[in-house]
Amino acid sequence: MKPLEGRIALVAGATRGAGRGIAMMLGEAGATVYCTGRSVRGRPATGTRPETIEETAERVDARGGRGIAVRTDHTVEGEVAELCARVKREQGRLDVLINDIWGGDELTEFSLPFWKLAPAKGRLMLERGIYSHILTSRYAVPLMLEHGRGLIVEITDGDTFGYRGNLFYDLVKMSVIRLAFDMAWDLRRHAITALAVTPGFLRSEAMLENFGVTEANWQEGAAKDPHFIASETPFYVGRAVAALAADPNVAAKSGRVFSSWALAKEYGFKDEDGRQPDWGTYFQQAFGRSYAVADEAAYAAWLNGPMEIAAPDWPKE
Q: Which residues belong to the active site? A: 169
Q: Contact at 8 Å (CB) between 126 and 168?
A: yes
What does R_g of the chain's alpha carbons equal in angstroms? Answer: 19
Q: Cis peptide leading into 312, omega within 30 of 0?
A: yes
Please give the single-letter amino acid code of residue 135: L
Q: How far apart are CA 67 and CA 51, in angstroms?
A: 15
Burial class (CB in 10 A: 0-12, 13-18, 19+), 251: buried
DSSP 180-207: HHHHHHHTTTTTEEEEEEE-SSB--HHH
Q: How far apart are CA 99 and CA 19, in angstroms?
A: 9
CB atoms within 10 A of CB 226: 10
Cα–Cα nearest to 98, from 244, 307, 229: 244
